[in-house]
Amino acid sequence: MQATAFTYDPETRGGSVLLDDGTPLPFDAAAFDAGGLRLLRPGQRVRIRTDGSADTRRVVFITLQTFPDPMGPKV
């Protein structure tokens, strides 16, 4: 799934993304670390994986669109 980086705090390595429908969704350091990123700028397009649904939905993986998702489909 794709989204846009909305906020990012380099000290906590957490932040939030905006889904394409405008819904904000937070991510924590574990999700950031899973994607192999070192920095994220608001406005960057990202690839995410989520877990849960509705109010319990959370980002479990975030990386740049150009980086592979090891759990995603092979291209």
User: Would you kindly state where each structural domain of the chain is located, as residue ranges?
Assistant: 2-64
pTM for the whole structure:
0.84
Q: Categorize the per-residue pLDDT at 74 as very low, low, confident or very high, splitting at 50, 70 and 90.
A: very low
Q: What is the helix, strand, coil percentage profile of the chain, to 5?
A: 10, 45, 45
Q: Categorize the per-residue pLDDT at 44 as very low, low, confident or very high, splitting at 50, 70 and 90.
A: very high
- Residue range 41-51: average pLDDT? 95
The pLDDT value recorded for residue 32 is: 96
Q: Which CATH architecture has domain 2-64?
A: Beta Barrel (2.40)
Residues across the chain: 75
